[in-house]
Amino acid sequence: MTGRERFVNYGLPALTLLVLFLLWEGGVYAFKLPRFILPAPSVVAQSLWQWRNAIWSHALQTLYTTLAGFGVAVGFGLVLGWIVGFSPLVYKALYPVLIGFNSIPKVAIVPVLVIWFGIGTVPAVLTAFLISFFPIVVNVATGLATLEPELQDVLRSLGAGKLQIFRKVGLPRTLPYFFASMKVAVTLAFVGSVISETVASNRGVGYLMIAASSRFDVPLVFAGLLVIAALGVVLYAAFAVLEGRLTSWAYRR
């Protein structure tokens, strides 16, 4: 990587973030906003440092529930996406149900999950799963359904069966779609687990933020928000790297 590329990839986003924080800091002082309305970044940072141990353990909990829910979503979404994309019949039968389900605000489901499973880890994992599997299904199904008939003909003319066509063409062909959806899904999974934690849990960043806001400890609320944002960025970046490794052909690199 050249120096310029390194700057564009890492330096530029960092610079943007710094400018954003400076504007925020400046705005808070200029308008003399009280810290329980909008705390300055420096105050948030102080709070972050002061509560680092509690934040760390709650963040781990959130990371754990998010990844667990996301993991289930990937497995489930991949298989369902393949089935839906492979069979036009299943597609027709299932699609309205899927779209209807995805339209339901997941925060409305959390109370039901609590009645079934109690509060804590399980509803958080499930909410993360429920909110993040949809984009994976849609993308993988699209990847399969838009398979070029010419590519299928190449394999069919060799006497390949449906399963072989799927393995040799369908599966690799859906990979770019799959990774694109993973990047969306992993950030959604955070939304899901944090929603569930704010409604029904005594662990996790979501709980931490609710507890802090009930004490008017707004700097700690913002610290929680920053932690979630940072976790989201890190996971997104991880999948972007994985994507670059496994589907570089799709980007012609």
Partner 1 sequence: MAPETKTDLSALAVEFRDVSLTYVARDRCTVALENVHLAVRPSEFVAIVGPSGCGKTTFLKLTSGLLRPSGGEVWVEGRPVRGPLKIVGMAFQNPTLLPWRTTLENVLLPLEIVQPHRQQYRRGRAAYRAKALELLRSVGLDGFADRHPWQLSGGMQQRASLCRALIHEPDILLLDEPFGALDAFTREELWLVLQRLAADRGCTVILVTHDLREAIFLADTVYVMSRRPGKLVAQWEVGFPRPRELADCFTEGFLELFQGIRSQIGEVREAL
Nearer to partner 1, 83 or 154 (CB): 154
Return residues touching partner 1 (CB under 8 A): 148, 150-151, 153-160, 164, 168-169, 172-173, 175, 247, 249-250, 252
CB of 205 to partner 1, least distance (A): 39
Q: Cα dihedral sign for 131, 137, 138, 140?
A: positive
Nearer to partner 1, 38 or 175 (CB): 175
Nearer to partner 1, 5 or 150 (CB): 150
Cα–Cα distance between 77 and 215 in angstroms, integer? 40
CB of 200 to partner 1, least distance (A): 44
CB of 146 to partner 1, least distance (A): 14
Q: Which two tokens stand for residue 39?
A: 């705390």
Residues 6+ apart with CB under 8 A from 1: 9
DSSP 170-185: IHHHHHHHHHHHHHHH
Residues 6+ apart with CB under 8 A from 57: none
CB of 82 to partner 1, least distance (A): 17
Nearer to partner 1, 172 or 232 (CB): 172
Nearer to partner 1, 106 or 173 (CB): 173
CB of 149 to partner 1, least distance (A): 10
Cα–Cα distance between 253 and 247 in angstroms, integer? 9
Q: Which two tokens stand for residue 154?
A: 């190449």
Nearer to partner 1, 154 or 225 (CB): 154
CB of 178 to partner 1, least distance (A): 13
Cα–Cα distance between 130 and 110 in angstroms, integer? 10
CB 130 within 8 A of CB 106: yes
